[in-house]
Structure 1
Protein backbone atom coordinates (compact mmCIF):
# COMPACT_ATOMS: atom_id res chain seq x y z
CA UNK A 1 0.00 0.00 0.00
CA UNK A 2 1.10 3.55 -0.66
CA UNK A 3 2.26 5.58 2.33
CA UNK A 4 0.89 9.04 3.04
CA UNK A 5 3.85 11.42 3.21
CA UNK A 6 3.55 15.08 4.17
CA UNK A 7 6.29 17.67 3.69
CA UNK A 8 6.45 20.60 6.11
CA UNK A 9 8.46 23.30 4.36
CA UNK A 10 10.12 26.30 6.02
CA UNK A 11 10.18 28.81 3.15
CA UNK A 12 13.06 30.91 4.55
CA UNK A 13 15.44 28.43 6.20
CA UNK A 14 19.02 28.71 5.06
CA UNK A 15 18.16 31.81 3.06
CA UNK A 16 17.03 29.63 0.13
CA UNK A 17 13.69 29.87 -1.66
CA UNK A 18 11.55 26.71 -1.49
CA UNK A 19 8.81 27.84 -3.88
CA UNK A 20 9.81 25.18 -6.40
CA UNK A 21 10.27 22.40 -3.87
CA UNK A 22 6.89 20.66 -4.34
CA UNK A 23 7.41 20.37 -8.11
CA UNK A 24 10.95 19.06 -7.65
CA UNK A 25 9.91 16.56 -4.96
CA UNK A 26 6.99 15.31 -7.07
CA UNK A 27 9.45 14.66 -9.89
CA UNK A 28 11.86 12.55 -7.80
CA UNK A 29 9.51 10.90 -5.28
CA UNK A 30 8.38 7.38 -6.21
CA UNK A 31 4.64 7.69 -7.08
CA UNK A 32 4.15 3.94 -6.57
CA UNK A 33 5.18 4.26 -2.90
CA UNK A 34 3.77 7.60 -1.76
CA UNK A 35 0.77 9.89 -1.72
CA UNK A 36 2.41 13.27 -1.11
CA UNK A 37 1.09 16.56 0.26
CA UNK A 38 2.95 19.80 0.95
CA UNK A 39 2.56 22.44 3.68
CA UNK A 40 4.49 25.73 3.96
CA UNK A 41 5.09 27.20 7.42
CA UNK A 42 4.15 30.78 8.21
CA UNK A 43 6.43 31.53 11.16
CA UNK A 44 8.17 30.15 14.26
CA UNK A 45 6.29 27.30 15.89
CA UNK A 46 4.05 26.65 12.89
CA UNK A 47 5.94 23.52 11.82
CA UNK A 48 5.26 22.00 15.22
CA UNK A 49 1.55 22.82 15.06
CA UNK A 50 1.24 21.22 11.63
CA UNK A 51 3.14 18.12 12.76
CA UNK A 52 1.01 17.73 15.91
CA UNK A 53 -2.12 17.65 13.73
CA UNK A 54 -0.54 15.20 11.29
CA UNK A 55 0.27 12.80 14.13
CA UNK A 56 -3.47 12.70 14.87
CA UNK A 57 -4.33 12.06 11.22
CA UNK A 58 -3.27 9.46 8.67
CA UNK A 59 0.18 10.68 7.63
CA UNK A 60 2.61 7.78 7.85
CA UNK A 61 5.69 9.94 7.22
CA UNK A 62 6.22 13.60 8.09
CA UNK A 63 9.19 15.29 6.42
CA UNK A 64 10.86 18.45 7.74
CA UNK A 65 12.18 20.62 4.92
CA UNK A 66 14.46 23.16 6.58
CA UNK A 67 17.25 23.56 9.11
CA UNK A 68 17.83 22.12 12.57
CA UNK A 69 15.21 24.46 14.08
CA UNK A 70 12.50 23.23 11.70
CA UNK A 71 13.63 19.65 12.28
CA UNK A 72 13.33 20.21 16.04
CA UNK A 73 9.76 21.50 15.71
CA UNK A 74 8.66 18.54 13.61
CA UNK A 75 10.61 15.91 15.58
CA UNK A 76 9.20 17.23 18.87
CA UNK A 77 5.74 16.27 17.60
CA UNK A 78 6.79 12.98 15.98
CA UNK A 79 8.96 11.63 18.81
CA UNK A 80 7.28 8.77 20.64
CA UNK A 81 4.24 8.78 18.31
CA UNK A 82 5.07 5.76 16.18
CA UNK A 83 5.18 7.94 13.05
CA UNK A 84 8.28 8.13 10.87
CA UNK A 85 10.14 11.36 10.14
CA UNK A 86 12.05 12.43 7.05
CA UNK A 87 14.57 15.24 6.67
CA UNK A 88 15.39 17.42 3.67
CA UNK A 89 18.22 19.64 4.95
CA UNK A 90 18.04 23.32 4.05
CA UNK A 91 19.68 24.95 7.07
CA UNK A 92 22.80 26.88 7.92
CA UNK A 93 24.55 23.95 9.60
CA UNK A 94 22.42 20.82 9.10
CA UNK A 95 24.00 19.08 12.07
CA UNK A 96 21.50 16.25 12.50
CA UNK A 97 21.23 15.53 8.77
CA UNK A 98 25.00 15.33 8.47
CA UNK A 99 25.21 13.00 11.47
CA UNK A 100 22.59 10.71 9.90
CA UNK A 101 24.31 10.71 6.51
CA UNK A 102 21.36 12.35 4.75
CA UNK A 103 22.44 14.02 1.48
CA UNK A 104 22.63 17.81 1.63
CA UNK A 105 21.49 18.06 -1.98
CA UNK A 106 17.69 18.39 -1.95
CA UNK A 107 17.10 16.18 -5.00
CA UNK A 108 19.26 13.38 -3.62
CA UNK A 109 17.65 13.73 -0.19
CA UNK A 110 14.19 13.29 -1.75
CA UNK A 111 15.41 10.24 -3.69
CA UNK A 112 16.73 8.79 -0.42
CA UNK A 113 13.17 8.78 0.95
CA UNK A 114 12.22 6.28 -1.76
CA UNK A 115 14.42 3.62 -0.13
CA UNK A 116 12.33 3.67 3.09
CA UNK A 117 15.45 2.89 5.13
CA UNK A 118 14.96 3.87 8.77
CA UNK A 119 17.14 4.51 11.80
CA UNK A 120 15.84 4.91 15.33
CA UNK A 121 17.69 7.49 17.40
CA UNK A 122 17.77 8.92 20.90
CA UNK A 123 16.29 12.27 21.83
CA UNK A 124 17.11 14.67 24.65
CA UNK A 125 15.02 16.77 27.01
CA UNK A 126 15.98 20.03 28.68
CA UNK A 127 13.43 21.28 31.23
CA UNK A 128 10.84 19.29 29.27
CA UNK A 129 11.77 20.89 25.92
CA UNK A 130 13.11 18.42 23.37
CA UNK A 131 16.32 18.42 21.37
CA UNK A 132 17.69 15.91 18.91
CA UNK A 133 21.14 17.10 17.86
CA UNK A 134 22.61 19.49 20.42
CA UNK A 135 21.71 21.72 23.35
CA UNK A 136 24.01 24.36 24.77
CA UNK A 137 24.60 26.76 27.63
CA UNK A 138 27.12 29.58 27.73
CA UNK A 139 28.89 31.09 24.75
CA UNK A 140 27.21 28.98 22.05
CA UNK A 141 23.76 29.83 23.48
CA UNK A 142 24.75 33.51 23.49
CA UNK A 143 25.90 33.28 19.86
CA UNK A 144 22.70 31.47 18.87
CA UNK A 145 20.73 34.36 20.36
CA UNK A 146 22.73 36.99 18.46
CA UNK A 147 22.82 34.92 15.26
CA UNK A 148 19.03 34.48 15.29
CA UNK A 149 18.61 38.17 14.45
CA UNK A 150 21.47 38.27 11.94
CA UNK A 151 20.78 38.83 8.25
CA UNK A 152 23.83 36.85 7.14
CA UNK A 153 23.28 33.09 7.46
CA UNK A 154 25.53 30.10 6.94
CA UNK A 155 28.89 29.17 8.43
CA UNK A 156 30.58 32.49 7.60
CA UNK A 157 27.83 34.45 9.33
CA UNK A 158 28.09 32.26 12.42
CA UNK A 159 31.89 32.54 12.56
CA UNK A 160 31.77 36.33 12.13
CA UNK A 161 29.25 36.59 14.95
CA UNK A 162 31.41 34.45 17.23
CA UNK A 163 34.54 36.50 16.50
CA UNK A 164 32.75 39.79 17.18
CA UNK A 165 31.28 38.56 20.49
CA UNK A 166 34.05 36.47 22.02
CA UNK A 167 36.24 39.24 23.46
CA UNK A 168 33.41 40.55 25.67
CA UNK A 169 32.01 37.20 26.80
CA UNK A 170 32.70 36.16 30.42
CA UNK A 171 32.84 32.55 31.57
CA UNK A 172 30.66 31.31 34.44
CA UNK A 173 30.88 28.78 37.22
CA UNK A 174 28.53 25.81 36.91
CA UNK A 175 27.56 22.97 39.21
CA UNK A 176 26.89 19.77 37.27
CA UNK A 177 25.32 16.59 38.62
CA UNK A 178 25.81 13.78 36.11
CA UNK A 179 24.23 10.44 37.05
CA UNK A 180 24.52 11.35 40.71
CA UNK A 181 28.11 12.61 40.63
CA UNK A 182 28.50 16.33 41.43
CA UNK A 183 31.28 18.52 40.06
CA UNK A 184 31.96 22.25 39.85
CA UNK A 185 33.54 23.80 36.77
CA UNK A 186 34.35 27.21 35.38
CA UNK A 187 33.19 26.99 31.78
CA UNK A 188 33.18 29.09 28.65
CA UNK A 189 30.33 26.94 27.38
CA UNK A 190 28.69 23.58 28.05
CA UNK A 191 27.31 21.57 25.15
CA UNK A 192 25.03 18.59 25.62
CA UNK A 193 25.57 16.46 22.54
CA UNK A 194 23.28 13.78 21.18
CA UNK A 195 25.21 13.73 17.91
CA UNK A 196 28.85 14.61 17.42
CA UNK A 197 28.52 18.00 15.72
CA UNK A 198 26.95 21.45 15.74
CA UNK A 199 26.75 21.41 11.94
CA UNK A 200 29.06 22.20 9.01
CA UNK A 201 31.20 19.26 10.22
CA UNK A 202 32.22 21.16 13.38
CA UNK A 203 32.49 18.21 15.79
CA UNK A 204 32.28 19.24 19.45
CA UNK A 205 32.11 15.63 20.72
CA UNK A 206 33.66 13.39 18.07
CA UNK A 207 32.51 10.06 19.52
CA UNK A 208 28.95 10.98 20.48
CA UNK A 209 26.36 8.50 19.19
CA UNK A 210 22.71 9.02 18.34
CA UNK A 211 21.91 5.45 19.37
CA UNK A 212 23.79 4.74 22.64
CA UNK A 213 21.22 5.98 25.17
CA UNK A 214 23.71 8.56 26.47
CA UNK A 215 24.33 12.29 26.16
CA UNK A 216 27.83 13.74 26.00
CA UNK A 217 28.33 16.71 28.33
CA UNK A 218 31.12 18.75 26.74
CA UNK A 219 32.67 21.32 29.08
CA UNK A 220 34.78 23.92 27.31
CA UNK A 221 36.92 25.55 29.97
CA UNK A 222 38.15 29.15 29.89
CA UNK A 223 41.04 29.51 27.46
CA UNK A 224 43.35 32.27 26.19
CA UNK A 225 41.68 34.10 23.32
CA UNK A 226 44.67 33.56 21.06
CA UNK A 227 43.81 29.83 21.12
CA UNK A 228 40.32 30.37 19.69
CA UNK A 229 41.45 29.47 16.11
CA UNK A 230 43.08 26.30 17.45
CA UNK A 231 39.86 25.23 19.18
CA UNK A 232 38.04 25.87 15.90
CA UNK A 233 40.58 23.72 14.09
CA UNK A 234 40.04 20.94 16.64
CA UNK A 235 36.30 20.99 15.97
CA UNK A 236 36.71 20.77 12.21
CA UNK A 237 39.33 18.03 12.54
CA UNK A 238 37.16 16.08 15.05
CA UNK A 239 39.86 16.28 17.73
CA UNK A 240 38.30 18.39 20.50
CA UNK A 241 38.74 15.48 22.92
CA UNK A 242 42.50 16.02 22.70
CA UNK A 243 42.35 19.59 24.01
CA UNK A 244 43.20 20.23 27.66
CA UNK A 245 40.48 22.87 27.63
CA UNK A 246 37.74 20.34 26.81
CA UNK A 247 36.27 17.75 29.18
CA UNK A 248 33.66 15.23 27.99
CA UNK A 249 31.49 13.27 30.43
CA UNK A 250 28.72 10.90 29.34
CA UNK A 251 25.49 10.55 31.27
CA UNK A 252 21.77 9.88 31.26
CA UNK A 253 20.45 12.16 34.00
CA UNK A 254 22.06 15.58 34.15
CA UNK A 255 21.46 18.66 36.23
CA UNK A 256 23.24 21.95 35.53
CA UNK A 257 22.99 24.85 37.96
CA UNK A 258 24.29 28.23 36.81
CA UNK A 259 24.49 31.69 38.32
CA UNK A 260 21.11 32.91 37.07
CA UNK A 261 18.49 32.77 34.35
CA UNK A 262 19.80 33.06 30.81
CA UNK A 263 20.05 31.81 27.27
CA UNK A 264 20.17 28.19 26.20
CA UNK A 265 19.84 26.77 22.72
CA UNK A 266 18.07 23.64 21.56
CA UNK A 267 19.25 22.50 18.13
CA UNK A 268 20.51 26.02 17.48
CA UNK A 269 17.27 27.79 18.44
CA UNK A 270 17.75 30.13 21.43
CA UNK A 271 15.42 30.61 24.39
CA UNK A 272 15.66 31.78 28.00
CA UNK A 273 15.49 29.30 30.86
CA UNK A 274 15.93 29.33 34.65
CA UNK A 275 19.21 28.85 36.48
CA UNK A 276 18.55 25.14 37.13
CA UNK A 277 18.43 22.89 34.09
CA UNK A 278 17.25 19.28 34.14
CA UNK A 279 18.45 17.24 31.19
CA UNK A 280 17.61 13.67 30.22
CA UNK A 281 17.71 11.21 27.34
CA UNK A 282 14.96 9.13 25.75
CA UNK A 283 16.66 6.14 24.14
CA UNK A 284 15.66 5.16 20.60
CA UNK A 285 12.52 7.31 20.60
CA UNK A 286 12.51 8.80 17.08
CA UNK A 287 12.39 6.88 13.79
CA UNK A 288 13.97 8.73 10.85
CA UNK A 289 14.33 7.89 7.16
CA UNK A 290 18.02 7.86 6.30
Structure 2
Protein backbone atom coordinates (compact mmCIF):
# COMPACT_ATOMS: atom_id res chain seq x y z
CA UNK A 1 0.00 0.00 0.00
CA UNK A 2 1.30 3.44 -0.93
CA UNK A 3 1.47 6.04 1.81
CA UNK A 4 -0.55 9.19 1.25
CA UNK A 5 1.86 12.07 1.84
CA UNK A 6 0.92 15.74 1.91
CA UNK A 7 3.50 18.47 1.36
CA UNK A 8 2.43 21.69 3.12
CA UNK A 9 4.46 24.43 1.46
CA UNK A 10 5.09 27.89 2.90
CA UNK A 11 5.65 29.98 -0.26
CA UNK A 12 7.52 32.80 1.52
CA UNK A 13 9.69 30.96 4.06
CA UNK A 14 13.39 31.70 3.76
CA UNK A 15 12.71 34.09 0.88
CA UNK A 16 13.13 31.21 -1.58
CA UNK A 17 10.88 30.35 -4.52
CA UNK A 18 9.06 27.01 -4.36
CA UNK A 19 7.14 27.20 -7.63
CA UNK A 20 8.89 24.12 -9.04
CA UNK A 21 8.85 22.16 -5.77
CA UNK A 22 6.20 19.67 -6.88
CA UNK A 23 8.30 18.96 -9.98
CA UNK A 24 11.23 17.99 -7.74
CA UNK A 25 9.02 15.74 -5.62
CA UNK A 26 7.76 13.81 -8.66
CA UNK A 27 11.35 13.42 -9.82
CA UNK A 28 13.05 12.38 -6.57
CA UNK A 29 10.33 10.87 -4.35
CA UNK A 30 9.82 7.11 -4.68
CA UNK A 31 6.36 7.00 -6.26
CA UNK A 32 6.16 3.26 -5.62
CA UNK A 33 6.04 4.09 -1.91
CA UNK A 34 4.16 7.40 -1.87
CA UNK A 35 1.14 9.09 -3.38
CA UNK A 36 1.98 12.81 -3.00
CA UNK A 37 -0.35 15.81 -2.70
CA UNK A 38 0.48 19.50 -2.27
CA UNK A 39 -0.98 22.52 -0.47
CA UNK A 40 0.39 26.06 -0.17
CA UNK A 41 -0.16 28.05 3.01
CA UNK A 42 -1.79 31.42 2.39
CA UNK A 43 -1.73 33.04 5.83
CA UNK A 44 -0.20 32.68 9.27
CA UNK A 45 -1.80 29.64 10.92
CA UNK A 46 -3.01 28.15 7.64
CA UNK A 47 -0.63 25.20 8.09
CA UNK A 48 -2.61 24.19 11.19
CA UNK A 49 -5.86 24.10 9.20
CA UNK A 50 -4.30 22.19 6.32
CA UNK A 51 -2.78 19.61 8.66
CA UNK A 52 -6.05 19.10 10.56
CA UNK A 53 -7.77 18.45 7.23
CA UNK A 54 -4.97 16.04 6.27
CA UNK A 55 -5.57 14.08 9.48
CA UNK A 56 -9.32 13.97 8.79
CA UNK A 57 -8.68 12.91 5.19
CA UNK A 58 -6.57 9.93 6.23
CA UNK A 59 -3.09 11.04 5.18
CA UNK A 60 -0.20 9.02 6.62
CA UNK A 61 2.52 11.69 6.53
CA UNK A 62 2.52 15.49 6.43
CA UNK A 63 5.71 17.20 5.29
CA UNK A 64 6.58 20.74 6.35
CA UNK A 65 8.19 22.59 3.45
CA UNK A 66 9.46 25.72 5.16
CA UNK A 67 11.21 26.85 8.32
CA UNK A 68 10.74 26.31 12.05
CA UNK A 69 7.52 28.36 12.08
CA UNK A 70 5.96 26.15 9.40
CA UNK A 71 7.16 23.05 11.24
CA UNK A 72 5.57 24.35 14.45
CA UNK A 73 2.15 24.71 12.81
CA UNK A 74 2.20 21.20 11.37
CA UNK A 75 3.82 19.49 14.36
CA UNK A 76 1.35 21.15 16.75
CA UNK A 77 -1.42 19.14 15.08
CA UNK A 78 0.51 15.88 14.60
CA UNK A 79 2.03 15.79 18.11
CA UNK A 80 0.34 13.10 20.17
CA UNK A 81 -0.98 11.26 17.09
CA UNK A 82 0.39 8.29 15.18
CA UNK A 83 0.90 10.36 12.03
CA UNK A 84 4.47 11.24 11.08
CA UNK A 85 5.90 14.60 10.07
CA UNK A 86 8.54 15.03 7.39
CA UNK A 87 10.68 18.13 6.85
CA UNK A 88 12.08 19.73 3.73
CA UNK A 89 13.96 22.74 5.13
CA UNK A 90 13.36 26.08 3.44
CA UNK A 91 13.64 28.48 6.38
CA UNK A 92 16.03 31.20 7.49
CA UNK A 93 17.67 29.08 10.20
CA UNK A 94 16.22 25.55 10.02
CA UNK A 95 17.12 24.79 13.62
CA UNK A 96 15.04 21.65 14.09
CA UNK A 97 15.94 20.20 10.69
CA UNK A 98 19.65 20.70 11.42
CA UNK A 99 19.28 19.07 14.85
CA UNK A 100 17.68 16.06 13.15
CA UNK A 101 20.51 15.95 10.59
CA UNK A 102 18.07 16.45 7.73
CA UNK A 103 19.88 17.63 4.57
CA UNK A 104 19.65 21.36 3.89
CA UNK A 105 19.47 20.68 0.14
CA UNK A 106 15.82 20.18 -0.80
CA UNK A 107 16.53 17.39 -3.30
CA UNK A 108 18.48 15.39 -0.73
CA UNK A 109 15.79 16.07 1.88
CA UNK A 110 13.13 14.70 -0.50
CA UNK A 111 15.29 11.63 -1.19
CA UNK A 112 15.69 11.09 2.58
CA UNK A 113 11.92 10.62 2.88
CA UNK A 114 12.24 7.47 0.74
CA UNK A 115 14.11 5.74 3.60
CA UNK A 116 10.95 5.77 5.75
CA UNK A 117 12.98 6.03 8.96
CA UNK A 118 10.80 7.10 11.87
CA UNK A 119 11.94 8.65 15.14
CA UNK A 120 10.00 9.88 18.17
CA UNK A 121 11.15 13.21 19.63
CA UNK A 122 10.18 15.35 22.61
CA UNK A 123 7.98 18.42 22.38
CA UNK A 124 7.52 21.41 24.67
CA UNK A 125 4.49 23.14 26.16
CA UNK A 126 4.58 26.88 26.89
CA UNK A 127 1.42 28.20 28.56
CA UNK A 128 -0.48 25.55 26.62
CA UNK A 129 1.18 26.37 23.27
CA UNK A 130 3.49 23.80 21.69
CA UNK A 131 7.09 24.22 20.58
CA UNK A 132 9.57 21.74 19.17
CA UNK A 133 12.94 23.46 18.80
CA UNK A 134 13.54 26.45 21.08
CA UNK A 135 11.34 28.89 22.95
CA UNK A 136 12.56 32.08 24.57
CA UNK A 137 11.92 35.00 26.89
CA UNK A 138 13.70 38.34 26.84
CA UNK A 139 16.00 39.64 24.13
CA UNK A 140 15.63 36.74 21.67
CA UNK A 141 11.82 37.08 21.88
CA UNK A 142 12.15 40.79 21.05
CA UNK A 143 14.38 39.94 18.10
CA UNK A 144 11.85 37.37 16.86
CA UNK A 145 9.15 40.06 16.94
CA UNK A 146 11.32 42.55 15.05
CA UNK A 147 12.51 39.90 12.59
CA UNK A 148 8.91 38.94 11.84
CA UNK A 149 8.36 42.52 10.62
CA UNK A 150 11.41 42.37 8.37
CA UNK A 151 10.83 41.54 4.70
CA UNK A 152 14.49 40.53 4.33
CA UNK A 153 14.90 37.05 5.81
CA UNK A 154 18.00 34.93 6.29
CA UNK A 155 20.98 35.07 8.62
CA UNK A 156 22.07 38.56 7.53
CA UNK A 157 18.65 40.04 8.29
CA UNK A 158 18.66 38.36 11.69
CA UNK A 159 22.12 39.67 12.59
CA UNK A 160 21.18 43.15 11.39
CA UNK A 161 18.14 43.14 13.68
CA UNK A 162 20.29 42.10 16.65
CA UNK A 163 22.79 44.88 15.89
CA UNK A 164 20.10 47.58 15.95
CA UNK A 165 18.37 46.36 19.12
CA UNK A 166 21.08 45.09 21.45
CA UNK A 167 22.49 48.35 22.83
CA UNK A 168 19.08 49.63 24.01
CA UNK A 169 17.80 46.40 25.55
CA UNK A 170 17.69 46.17 29.36
CA UNK A 171 17.91 42.94 31.34
CA UNK A 172 15.02 41.97 33.62
CA UNK A 173 14.64 40.17 36.94
CA UNK A 174 13.07 36.71 36.81
CA UNK A 175 11.89 34.17 39.36
CA UNK A 176 12.47 30.72 37.89
CA UNK A 177 11.04 27.57 39.43
CA UNK A 178 12.92 24.53 38.11
CA UNK A 179 11.28 21.20 39.02
CA UNK A 180 10.15 22.77 42.30
CA UNK A 181 13.42 24.60 43.11
CA UNK A 182 13.20 28.41 43.06
CA UNK A 183 16.03 30.62 41.84
CA UNK A 184 16.12 34.32 41.03
CA UNK A 185 18.20 35.77 38.21
CA UNK A 186 18.73 39.02 36.37
CA UNK A 187 18.76 37.89 32.77
CA UNK A 188 19.27 39.32 29.31
CA UNK A 189 17.33 36.38 27.94
CA UNK A 190 16.22 32.87 28.86
CA UNK A 191 16.07 30.14 26.22
CA UNK A 192 14.13 26.91 26.70
CA UNK A 193 15.93 24.46 24.46
CA UNK A 194 14.52 21.18 23.23
CA UNK A 195 17.25 21.01 20.59
CA UNK A 196 20.66 22.60 20.86
CA UNK A 197 20.40 25.40 18.29
CA UNK A 198 18.43 28.39 17.05
CA UNK A 199 19.42 27.60 13.47
CA UNK A 200 22.33 28.25 11.11
CA UNK A 201 24.41 26.10 13.52
CA UNK A 202 24.19 28.71 16.31
CA UNK A 203 24.06 26.41 19.37
CA UNK A 204 22.63 28.09 22.46
CA UNK A 205 22.50 24.87 24.54
CA UNK A 206 25.18 22.51 23.16
CA UNK A 207 24.07 19.44 25.11
CA UNK A 208 20.30 19.70 24.61
CA UNK A 209 18.72 16.56 23.20
CA UNK A 210 15.45 16.01 21.35
CA UNK A 211 14.99 12.61 23.00
CA UNK A 212 16.12 12.89 26.64
CA UNK A 213 12.83 14.04 28.22
CA UNK A 214 14.35 17.32 29.47
CA UNK A 215 14.48 20.95 28.42
CA UNK A 216 17.74 22.86 28.78
CA UNK A 217 17.23 26.28 30.38
CA UNK A 218 19.89 28.65 29.11
CA UNK A 219 20.09 31.84 31.19
CA UNK A 220 22.12 34.64 29.61
CA UNK A 221 23.06 37.13 32.33
CA UNK A 222 23.73 40.82 31.62
CA UNK A 223 27.00 41.42 29.77
CA UNK A 224 28.83 44.31 28.10
CA UNK A 225 27.61 44.84 24.54
CA UNK A 226 31.08 44.26 23.10
CA UNK A 227 30.96 40.69 24.44
CA UNK A 228 28.00 39.85 22.18
CA UNK A 229 30.51 39.05 19.43
CA UNK A 230 32.27 36.54 21.68
CA UNK A 231 28.94 34.98 22.67
CA UNK A 232 28.23 34.54 18.96
CA UNK A 233 31.56 32.79 18.53
CA UNK A 234 30.70 30.52 21.45
CA UNK A 235 27.41 29.58 19.80
CA UNK A 236 29.03 28.67 16.50
CA UNK A 237 31.69 26.60 18.29
CA UNK A 238 29.21 24.81 20.61
CA UNK A 239 30.83 26.26 23.72
CA UNK A 240 28.26 28.63 25.26
CA UNK A 241 28.42 26.58 28.46
CA UNK A 242 31.98 27.90 28.96
CA UNK A 243 30.86 31.58 29.13
CA UNK A 244 30.95 33.06 32.62
CA UNK A 245 27.69 34.94 31.95
CA UNK A 246 25.81 31.82 30.76
CA UNK A 247 24.10 29.34 33.07
CA UNK A 248 22.53 26.14 31.69
CA UNK A 249 20.21 23.93 33.74
CA UNK A 250 17.94 20.99 32.83
CA UNK A 251 14.37 20.40 33.93
CA UNK A 252 11.04 18.83 33.06
CA UNK A 253 8.85 21.57 34.50
CA UNK A 254 9.68 25.28 34.62
CA UNK A 255 7.74 28.27 35.89
CA UNK A 256 9.03 31.75 35.05
CA UNK A 257 7.63 34.89 36.68
CA UNK A 258 8.77 38.14 35.07
CA UNK A 259 8.33 41.85 35.69
CA UNK A 260 6.71 42.96 32.44
CA UNK A 261 4.25 41.64 29.89
CA UNK A 262 6.10 41.16 26.60
CA UNK A 263 6.64 38.82 23.68
CA UNK A 264 7.89 35.28 24.04
CA UNK A 265 8.87 33.23 21.02
CA UNK A 266 8.00 29.65 20.16
CA UNK A 267 10.26 28.26 17.45
CA UNK A 268 11.04 31.82 16.38
CA UNK A 269 7.40 32.94 16.19
CA UNK A 270 6.62 35.86 18.56
CA UNK A 271 3.55 35.68 20.81
CA UNK A 272 2.44 38.15 23.47
CA UNK A 273 2.12 36.53 26.91
CA UNK A 274 1.67 37.61 30.51
CA UNK A 275 3.84 37.69 33.62
CA UNK A 276 3.59 34.00 34.54
CA UNK A 277 4.98 31.40 32.13
CA UNK A 278 4.63 27.64 32.62
CA UNK A 279 6.81 25.40 30.50
CA UNK A 280 7.02 21.60 30.41
CA UNK A 281 8.28 18.73 28.28
CA UNK A 282 6.28 15.93 26.64
CA UNK A 283 8.70 13.04 26.05
CA UNK A 284 8.78 11.31 22.67
CA UNK A 285 5.38 12.67 21.63
CA UNK A 286 6.06 13.58 17.98
CA UNK A 287 6.98 11.11 15.23
CA UNK A 288 9.31 12.51 12.56
CA UNK A 289 10.80 11.11 9.38
CA UNK A 290 14.54 11.66 9.36
SS of alignment partner, residue 198 of structure 1: strand
Tell me the TM-score normalized by structure 2.
0.99
The aligned counterpart of 2:19 is 19
Q: What's 2:254 paired with?
A: 254
1:185 corresponds in structure 2 to 185
User: Aligned Cα RMSD in Å?
Assistant: 0.5
Once the two structures are superposed, residues 163-190 of structure 1 have per-residue CA deviations (whole angstroms, 9 ceiling, x without a partner) of 1100000000000000000000000000
Is residue 137 of structure 2 the alignment partner of residue 128 of structure 1?
no
Q: Unmatched 5+ residue regions in structure 2?
A: none
Preserved contact between residue 92 and residue 153 of structure 1 (Cα < 8 Å): yes
d(CA) in 2 for partners of 1:187, 1:98: 27
Distance in structure 2 (CA, Å) of the matches to 1:228 and 1:66: 29
Q: Using the alignment, how far apart are the partners of 2:81 and 2:183 within structure 1? A: 36
Matched, 1:107 2:107: yes
Deviation at 1:260, TM superposition (A): 2.1
Runs of 4+ in 1 over 3 A off after TM superposition: none
The 2-side partners of 1:264 and 1:190 are apart by 10
SS in 2 for 1:228: helix
CA distance in 1, matches of 2:248, 2:114: 38
Distance 1:52 1:183 in 2: 40
The aligned residue for residue 71 of structure 1 is 71
* Inter-partner Cα distance in structure 2 for 1:40 and 1:228: 38
Q: Distance in 2 between matches of 1:226 and 1:103?
A: 34
Using the alignment, how far apart are the partners of 1:241 and 1:71 within structure 2? 28
2:101 equivalent to 1:96: no
Gaps of 5+ in 1: none
Query: SS state of the match for residue 199, structure 2?
Result: coil
Separation (CA, whole Å) in 1 of partners of 2:124 and 2:37: 29
Aligned partners of 1:75 and 1:286 also within 8 Å: yes
Residue 276 (structure 1) shift:
0.2
1:243 aligns with 2:243: yes
How big is the shift at 1:47? 0.5
Whether 1:206 aligns to 2:206 is yes
